[in-house]
Amino acid sequence: MRADADVVIVGGGIMGLAIAYHLATRGVTKVTVVEKSYLCSGASGRNGGGVRAQWSSEANVRLMQESIEMCRDFAQKMKINVWFRQGGYLFLARSAQKVQALEQSVKVQNECGLGTSMLTPSEAKKIVPELDATPILAASYNPDDGVVFPWPFVWGYAQAAQRLGVEVIPFCDVIGFETSGSRIDAVTVRPNPEIGSSEKREQKIATHKVVNAAGAWSPEVAKMLGIDLPNRPHRHEICSSEPFKPWLRPLVADLTDGLYFSQSTRGEIVGGISQRHVPPGINQESSHTFLGRYAQAITRTCPILGAAKVLRQWAGCYDITPDANPIVGEVDGIDHFYQASGFMGHGFMMAPIIGKLLAQYIVDEAPLPLFDRWNLRRFDRGELLSEAMIIG
């Protein structure tokens, strides 16, 4: 492990690795990424792989337009197959309130040049013939949205960053920081005891710049520097069925109950559903409650799936902020302590473009209006944002 680094990134998920890669492409190669477990152990390896530009805010739409382009070029550029498939997202609305929210979102998307269309129930059924459109009032569809296989996407960033000189250290805990006033001087790390390592020695990495990209663990990292983040972890579960012949092209999402599901390139139906009442804190265990709720919702939407067999289910943690928008950029009180967290369940799809922009922000030290909008201080000021297109 390096004794010093130009930048230390806490968190080896897709967000931290994307930032590291883009820093290296800008010439900052003396970067160390510290991950407390294995790569893909957190939300980056436990999500459904959805990538969409259907959002209600202009900022998110424009960001995801570029991120989708980056996803499209990823396999060729990084020399790794991520099975990116653009089958679109089909959003369903079952109430007048949700229809109105969908219409407003589609208007924003169209103004940004996105080819999203509002659909009648019969038009939605033409895209997914197996859909029970009887209780559906309206739908929206953007054919450019898609799905990737999460694991190789993470590996692709890790390998590309390492080829450029970035150091990626898995199974290593950040346990503290050394500071001089508002300046960070070093990050203190040690081997994660969970892996059974006999090595207990702490080590310091001298640096003045730290990126907090630890997802649901980000508040714990920030607290070591006296910074209180309002993020909270929320367990989110996913289920995978036995494989079927290809029949479902888009990812289907229901705004009413947070259900979503798609078909993988191997044929499995992969999906999840929102759950309000889950144990607090970091929790990545599966439950029977989820399976029952998910089964009821998905069979109501596509009755043909009532006979599907479940292969496995798993869980990860959403990283939730009070206004469903992320916390990105520097914080007041600590110099060069950059945040990249609070992305709900959508950090994976935003990581390519956020990694590029945050690297630019760190290197150029020039303000970006987007990051000022997403700054931590908005919570103290009461300047909360909004986003209607949250699922899962």
pLDDT tens-digit readout, 245-258: 999 999 999 999 99
Record the tokens describing residue 43, joined without a space: 């939300």
Rounded percentage of the chain residues whose pLDDT exceeds 90: 92
Reported as a single tens digit per residue, the pLDDT across 125-154 is: 999 999 999 999 999 999 999 999 999 999
Instruction: Look at residue 270 in the predicted model and tell me its pLDDT.
Output: 97
What is the mean pLDDT of the segment spanning 89-115?
97
pLDDT of residue 231: 95
Write the burial class of residue 129 (CB in 10 Å: 0-12 exposed, 13-18 middle, 19+ buried): exposed
pLDDT tens digits for 324-334? 999 999 999 99
Per-residue burial over 285-317, b if 16 or more Cβ lie within 10 Å, else e, is eebeebeebbbebbebbbeebeebeeeebebbb
Whether the Cβ atoms of residue 384 and residue 230 lie closer than 8 Å to each other:
no
SS (H, E, C) the chain: CCCECCEEEECCCHHHHHHHHHHHHCCCCCEEEECCCCCCCCHHHCCCCEECCCCCCHHHHHHHHHHHHHHHHHHHHHCCCCCCECCCEEEEECCHHHHHHHHHHHHHHHHCCCCCEEECHHHHHHHCCCCCCCCCCEEEEECCCEECCHHHHHHHHHHHHHHCCCEEECCEEEEEEEEECCEEEEEEEEECHHHCCCCCCCEEEECCCEEECCHHHHHHHHHCCCCCCCCEEEEEEEEEEEECCCCCCCEEEECCCCCEEEECCCCEEEEECCCCCCCCCCCCCCCHHHHHHHHHHHHHHCHHHHHCCEEEEEEEEEEECCCCCCEEEEECCEEEEEEEECCECCHHHHHHHHHHHHHHHHHHCCCCHHHHHCCCHHHHHCCCCCCCCCCC
- Answer whether 271's CB lies under 8 Å from 238's CB: yes
pLDDT at 108 over 80: yes
Residue 308 is predicted with a pLDDT of 95
- Residue 312 has phi, psi (to 5 degrees) of -165, 165
Cβ-contact 91, 253 below 8 angstroms: yes
pLDDT at residue 280 in the model: 85
pLDDT of residue 119: 98
pLDDT at residue number 199: 63
Residue 224 confidence (pLDDT): 98
Per-residue pLDDT tens digits for 162-198:
999 999 999 999 999 999 999 999 999 999 877 655 5
For 284-308, what is the mean pLDDT? 95
Indicate the pairing of strand 31-34 with strand 7-10.
parallel
Structure tokens at 169: 């250290």
pLDDT in tens, 25-47: 999 999 999 999 999 999 999 99
Mean pLDDT of 262-287: 92
Over the range 12-47, which residues count as b (16 or more CB within 10 Å of their CB) and which as e?
bbbbbbbbbbbbbeeebbbbbbbbbbebbbbbbbbb
Mean of the per-residue pLDDT values for the chain?
A: 95
Give the pLDDT mean for 308-315: 95
pTM equals 0.96
Mean pLDDT of 343-362: 96
pLDDT at 196: 56
For the beta carbon of residue 91, count every other beta carbon within 10 angstroms.
30
- pLDDT, mean of residues 8-26: 98
Q: Tokens 């007048």 label which residue?
A: 96
Domains plus CATH for the chain? 7-46+151-231+323-381 (3.50.50.60), 86-144+232-320 (3.30.9.10)
C-beta separation of 203 from 52 below 8 A: no
What's the rounded Cα separation, in Å, for the pair 158 and 155?
5
The answer, yes or no, to whether residue 293 has pLDDT greater than 90, is yes
Give the CA distances from residue 116 to residues 51, 104, 144, 312, in Å, rounded to whole numbers and listed in that order: 15, 12, 9, 33
Q: What is the pLDDT of residue 345?
A: 87
Pairing state between β 7-10 and 210-212: parallel
Closest CA to 269 of 239, 300, 294: 239
Q: At residue 392, does pLDDT exceed 80? A: no
